[in-house]
Structure 1
Amino acid sequence: MTLANKLAWDDTVLPFQLDRADVRGRVARLDGVLDSVLEQHDYPPVIEALIAEITLLTALIGQTIDLRWKLSLQVRGNGAARILATDYYGPTKEGEPARIRAYASFDKERLDENAPGFEQIGKGYFAILIDQGDGMKPYQGITPIAGGSLAACAQTYFAQSEQLPTRFELTFGRSTEKDGDESWRAGGMMLQHMPKASPFAKSEDGGDEQGLLTASDLLSDDEEDNWNRANILLDTVEALEMIGPSVAPTELLVRLFHEESPRVFDAQPVTFGCTCSEERVRNSLSIYSAKDLEHMTTEKGEITADCQFCGKHYVLDPATVGKDAVAGGGDDN
């Protein structure tokens, strides 16, 4: 039963709704996805933990959006952990998995591997970007780095930008199997008040000491009672229940919210996936003249590019790229 739960629910996001509380949510478990994301890089453990957290957030948030192409989460700070970035690509066909990729940029000299990762982001911003494809105007929402975790930043984003009370409960870390194999594993839950219940802030005077909105600023008294009840129940969850594999997400929802009439919907599988290609590299260089490209050409007479997400290395002939490219450019790799 334990192994069956692990196989059935790893790398999935399960949508659900609590009818009595007027709350919707997601349960996510990531296993192979995290390993695939992290094996592309050689990050220290403190950076790996930040990538695990933001990847889990991306899986939970991405599944809530009717996405035509891409959702991105970006964290930029002035600390040692300078950039965290993820992309979530919704399924192009029914039954296909969503795809996630992620990377980090950090200052190795300034990084303290014994200090919490979030503290090493410093001052900066947390952003959610939605790109619905060609001909569609991109959306971007930004909130400051605050609250003690990336999950707290995401909660503030939804309160500020979407005016939706939202709660994330996440757990992640390295897991050791009985055979001694070690891998990254993460589990999390997202609660969100139904959009129709909270379209506007309750008052113009709401907000915390930094002027940021919280759930209590967005809900009426009855709605706040329902929201608080759901959150109190979520407070009782244990880390092992979140990451499994002994408790299936459906069973976990019954354990936590049986009095709230939980309903589940079809689970969404998630996998690692990168969209980089030689064609995309060529397109990004197409704005440069031959003179500009001279500054990008190596001593070997090549232009090279590396994908920050998957590490793939591209080598191009300068004569075949840019505004003055000659015929004979390479095909996609």
Structure 2
Amino acid sequence: MLGSKIAWDDTVLPFQLDKSDVRGRVARLDGVLENVLMQHDYPPAIEALVAEVALLTAMIGQTIKLRWKLSIQIRNDGPARLIATDYYAPTADGKPARIRAYASYDKERLQEDGDAYDNVGNGYFAILIDQGEGMKPYQGITPLTGSSLSNCAENYFAQSEQLPTRFELSFGRSTLSGEDEKWRAGGVMLQKMPKASPSVAPVENEAADGVLKAEDILSEDDFENWNRANILLDSVDSLELIGPSVQPTQLLTRLFHEDQPRVFDAQSVAFGCSCSEASVRNSLSIYSAKDIKTMTTDAGVVSADCQFCGMHYEMDPETLGFEAKAGPDGRSA
């Protein structure tokens, strides 16, 4: 299977290193990332942060068997106040997973010089999993620690799940011959297999800096295997992650051939938003006629904009809230 060719644009390829008891993902986001970012006119620093979280979302979302949605939220007191992404699981076999992303930022405080992560202050990294109606949602939260959002995600899995995890990412604007400049991103995720938990070393004391590391979690043998996989990943080149000349399967063969990599079916991803007029109406159904009146514009409508895709909705206030006098079609309620 490692010799087979798959489309490298907008895919997530799951793999497993049997010899090391490590699983992972190789992701390439190109058109989908361009679609995510073209919905907004973000400054370059915010674009870079959104691109990084979108790539993390694609890989993390694909590791979890979802019925519906995984969300990542990064809230902090820095200029990049909020970065939120959603991963919607495929609705059927052969269908793409869908990703959307949004950022809220303080333009006056934004630092365009230096690393984009300089705009992230103190706050938290959260993963929320919604398995759909009738299922209890899951939420995990850890403090923002490290020198990148990738580090924050690694620390989340170490602290919240006690699963050593590593991300190696590359992203930015690039130009292929004969094409316009566009955003491209690629990355590799490594994670110790959850089934290895019986051999996970008991965590008796917290790390000195409060952040668990692989050596704090794993037994000696497991740490040796984990460390070897990370050393091999250290040799990856940025162009191998985002360039068109190296297929993900070829990359895995080059990096981990001694660890017997196995690949599974690739998952395609696409930009997609779940917003609709019906969902907006549902969110307003808890308000009284008096509340709806305060939301009504001088033009006599209630308007709403989707923060993710920019879709604009205008609705008759008489059809909104639990005291609505008419249905969405304008007929008497």
TM-score, length basis structure 1? 0.95
Quick one: distance in 2 between partners of 1:293 and 1:214? 51
Partner of 1:278: 277
| CA gap 1:208/1:201 in 2 versus in 1, 3 angstroms | farther
Trace 1:1-333 onto structure 2 (pairs within 5 A). Answer: 8-198=7-197, 202-209=202-209, 211-330=210-329
Per-residue displacement from partner, 1:194-224 (whole Å, max 9, x unpaired)? 1121365533214241x12111111000000
Q: Is the 8 A contact 1:163 1:201 kept in 2?
A: no
| CA gap 1:330/1:40 in 2 versus in 1, 3 angstroms | farther
- 3-state SS of 1:50 partner: helix
Q: Would you say how many aligned residue pairs link Structure 1 and Structure 2? A: 326
- 3-state SS of 1:68 partner: coil
1:180 CA drift (Å): 4.9
Per-residue displacement from partner, 1:239-285 (whole Å, max 9, x unpaired)? 00011211000000000000000000000000000000000000000
Q: Is the 8 A contact 1:81 1:117 kept in 2?
A: no
1:119 CA drift (Å): 1.7
Q: Is the 8 A contact 2:111 2:118 kept in 1?
A: no
Quick one: distance in 1 between partners of 2:131 and 2:27? 23
Q: Is the 8 A contact 1:126 1:154 kept in 2?
A: yes
| CA gap 1:223/1:60 in 2 versus in 1, 3 angstroms | same
- Structure 1 unaligned runs (5+)? none
- 3-state SS of 1:63 partner: helix
Quick one: distance in 1 between partners of 2:161 and 2:327? 48
Report which stretch shifted further, 112-121 or 168-177.
112-121
- 3-state SS of 1:148 partner: coil
Counterpart residue type for residue 204 of structure 2: E
Q: Is the 8 A contact 1:278 1:330 kept in 2?
A: no
Counterpart residue type for residue 116 of structure 1: D
Identity score, percent: 69
Quick one: distance in 2 between partners of 1:115 and 1:9? 31
Q: Is the 8 A contact 1:166 1:191 kept in 2?
A: yes
Per-residue displacement from partner, 1:166-188 (whole Å, max 9, x unpaired)? 00000000011212510000000
Question: CA-atom RMSD, angstroms?
Answer: 1.5
Quick one: distance in 1 between partners of 2:178 and 2:329? 45
Per-residue displacement from partner, 1:50-105 (whole Å, max 9, x unpaired)? 00000000000000000000000000010110000000000110110000000000
Counterpart residue type for residue 260 of structure 2: S
Quick one: distance in 2 between partners of 1:120 and 1:237? 27
Counterpart residue type for residue 106 of structure 2: D
Counterpart residue type for residue 25 of structure 1: G
Q: Is the 8 A contact 2:127 2:141 kept in 1?
A: yes
Per-residue displacement from partner, 1:24-56 (whole Å, max 9, x unpaired)? 000000000000001110001110000000000
1:153 CA drift (Å): 0.6
Per-residue displacement from partner, 1:300-331 (whole Å, max 9, x unpaired)? 11111000000000001100000111233159
| CA gap 1:66/1:189 in 2 versus in 1, 3 angstroms | same
Q: Is the 8 A contact 1:172 1:243 kept in 2?
A: yes
Q: Is the 8 A contact 2:201 2:219 kept in 1?
A: no
Q: Is the 8 A contact 1:53 1:150 kept in 2?
A: yes
Q: Is the 8 A contact 1:198 1:218 kept in 2?
A: no
